[in-house]
Chains A and B, each alone.
Chain A
Amino acid sequence: SAVISQKPSRDICQRGTSLTIQCQVDSQVTMMFWYRQQPGQSLTLIATANQGSEATYESGFVIDKFPISRPNLTFSTLTVSNMSPEDSSIYLCSGWGGETQYFGPGTRLLVL
């Protein structure tokens, strides 16, 4: 199994600013992903974090708004840029280990 940690666990930010979320996995995983979970809703995939190359974004998400890095097999960052209140959400990092996808505890973001 894989244990995934995220930092920060929560934050309150002002509109127009940016926040970078860090994701660390305790073992190598093949694929890493970033999801968004808006209040009371299911998970929506933002992008696949690719090691050493640009992330692959889902429809409706763009690199300028959500730049992602993955410099190695166990670490990734997601930046939420130029934030607005609509970006208030839980952001989750995940990784595939074996036949299972493991999730971090999430970063709870509130934008004022």
Chain B
Amino acid sequence: GDSVTQMEGPVTLSEEAFLTINCTYTATGYPSLFWYVQYPGEGLQLLLKATKADDKGSNKGFEATYRKETTSFHLEKGSVQVSDSAVYFCALSRNNNDMRFGAGTRLTVKP
């Protein structure tokens, strides 16, 4: 079945460091791919998405490119801030059906 594998956390970075959170997926066909963020004590918010191969999703300085050949959707940000501290979830969905989530990666950014 469909599944998502995320980089194990937690990840701790200094402010302005470069961030990469790896995400790979297993699915038949062409799923849509998502990154969600969960700030402490809050629900999930959509961060970015890509619906077809080679699409790049971007938002708030974060980017991820849908790579069909490597079945990956790695999240990157060039310069993280303390306010980016949160848990990040990679997810996939086929045909706007239910989502499959990765395990989540906790990011802590220190000043």
* A residues at B contact (CB < 8 Å): 30-31, 33, 41-43, 45, 48, 92, 94, 96, 99-106
Contact = CB atoms under 8 A, between A and B. Distances in A.
Contacts of B46: 100-102
A106 B89 contact: no
17 contacts: A31-B98, A33-B98, A41-B103, A42-B89, A42-B102, A42-B103, A43-B89, A43-B99, A43-B101, A92-B44, A99-B51, A99-B96, A100-B46, A101-B34, A103-B43, A103-B45, A106-B43
Contact of A31 (B34, B97, B101, B103): B97
A42 B97 contact: no
B98 A45 contact: yes
Contact of A30 (B34, B96, B103): B96
A45 B98 CA distance: 8
Interface of B is mostly: strand
B69 interface: no
B98 A104 contact: no
A101 B103 contact: no
B93 interface: yes
A99 B31 CA distance: 11
A42 B96 contact: no
Interface residues of B, number: 20
A40 to B, nearest CB: 8
Residue of B51, B93, B99 with most partner-chain A CB within 10 A: B99
Interface in B24-44: 32, 34, 36, 42-44
A101 B104 contact: no
B43 A101 contact: no
Contact of A92 (B43, B51, B102, B104): B43
Given A94-B99, A99-B51, A101-B99, 12 more contacts: A31-B98, A42-B101, A42-B103, A43-B89, A48-B98, A99-B49, A99-B96, A103-B43, A103-B44, A104-B43, A106-B42, A106-B43
